[in-house]
Amino acid sequence: MSALTFKDARNLPMSRSSRGPRRPQPSVQPGLFGIRSWKKSRLVLAGVFGAVSVFPLLYLISLSFQPTSDIQTSNPVLIPSHPTFLNYVQAWSENSFGQYFLNSLVVALGTVVLTVGLSSLAAFAFARYKFPLKEVIFYVFLAALAVPSVELIIPQYLLVLKLHLTDSLPGLILIYTSENLPFAIFLLRGFFEAVPKDLEESFRLDGAGSLRVLTRLIAPLSAPALAVVAMFTFNFAWEEFVIALTLINSPSHRTLPIGLNFFIGEHTTQWGPLFAGSVIATVPSVIVYFISQRWFQRGVSLGGIR
């Protein structure tokens, strides 16, 4: 939240001075436009936006505690009449959801570590070295931002088949990492370039090698960007659906999104366990988001995010 409070502080003088000349401010930062005076309507509208944004998720939480009789009536129930944990118990026990959760965690963490590591090395090369074909190579990396995961699923499937990586979590990690490298390298390059040159030189004079410069100087100074990359990569791997659906066959290797898909039967849908499972699947993403939120604003304003 530090980025946000920083901005609050910047806008503070304006609101104070509009209330009265109680505290003279040397440089008055005016607010954006006249809407500063429509505080009440702005608040109401912001509330509406916020409410619409969270309502489906709150409803999901409510549904996950509803007994089947509530979920499958013709009158939707907003607040469970008899809250129950049965859906969670069912989701967890009947469909080896614990295993799916673990698989997703392994895949997501593996992807984060590999992506952050490899993209840091590459971004370091792009940011701090001069070498032939640098910009060409950079553009080749960037081009993949336009090629989505689903679009390459057929050749990737065949490739993974050939490499005997089907139905394996490492296979997923490698593909997820490749998908995330372009955006990560793009974002990190901007941050790495911002680290002053003389700092690096003094490091080098002390006898530090390239890797040391990266791990001891540039990476710590670019922590916000690394956090943003980690968050987006985690979320990507955590929620990815099509690639996992296509590459994973055996139940013991399913990730969470695939596991959820199996609550949908041909004829009947187990809505209760599906909602409970959905809540379980959503909690880690939200936690990761709130942890990384404080670095978020800076990361976003510096680079594009997929």
Side chain identity, residue 32: L
Q: Which one of 25, 45, 83, 223 is in contact with other proteins (CB under 8 A)?
A: 45
Dihedral Cα 126, 131, 132, 136, nearest 10 deg: 0
- Asked if residue 199 binds other proteins (CB under 8 A), the reply is no
Q: Which one of 80, 87, 112, 139 is in contact with other proteins (CB under 8 A)?
A: 139
CB of 22 vs other proteins, minimal distance in Å: 16
Q: Which one of 26, 146, 250, 265 is in contact with other proteins (CB under 8 A)?
A: 146
Candidate segments 79-87, 88-96, 128-136, 219-227, binder of other proteins by CB under 8 A: 128-136
Q: Which one of 69, 85, 93, 148 is in contact with other proteins (CB under 8 A)?
A: 148
CB of 85 vs other proteins, minimal distance in Å: 19
Q: Which one of 4, 89, 223, 291 is in contact with other proteins (CB under 8 A)?
A: 4
CB of 223 vs other proteins, minimal distance in Å: 19
Residue ranges in 144-255 assigned as alpha helix (H): 153-162, 169-193, 197-205, 210-212, 219-221, 223-239, 242-247
CB of 83 vs other proteins, minimal distance in Å: 18
Given a contact cutoff of 8 angstroms between Cβ atoms, the answer to whether 165 and 171 are in contact is: yes
Alpha-carbon Rg for the chain in angstroms = 24
Residues 6 or more apart in contact with residue 89 via CB below 8 angstroms: none
Q: Which one of 23, 129, 136, 197 is in contact with other proteins (CB under 8 A)?
A: 129
Restricted to residues 247-286, the positions that interact with other proteins (CB under 8 A) are 257, 260-261, 264, 271, 274-275, 278, 281-282, 285-286
Q: Give dist(CA 265, CA 110) in Å, integer.
A: 31
Looking at beta carbons only, is 153 or 221 nearer to other proteins?
153
* Structure tokens, 252: 């013991």
Given a contact cutoff of 8 angstroms between Cβ atoms, the answer to whether 206 and 88 are in contact is: no
* Structure tokens, 40: 């009440």
* Structure tokens, 99: 């295993």
Dihedral Cα 124, 126, 129, 133, nearest 10 deg: 150
CB of 265 vs other proteins, minimal distance in Å: 13
Angle, alpha carbons 134-229-293 (nearest 5°): 145
- Asked if residue 85 binds other proteins (CB under 8 A), the reply is no
Q: Give dist(CA 297, CA 306) in Å, integer.
A: 15
- Residue 150-169 contact track with other proteins, rule CB under 8 A, x = bound: xxxxxxx-xx----------
Q: Which one of 89, 199, 291, 300 is in contact with other proteins (CB under 8 A)?
A: 300
Restricted to residues 208-247, the positions that interact with other proteins (CB under 8 A) are 209-212, 235, 238-239, 241-242, 246
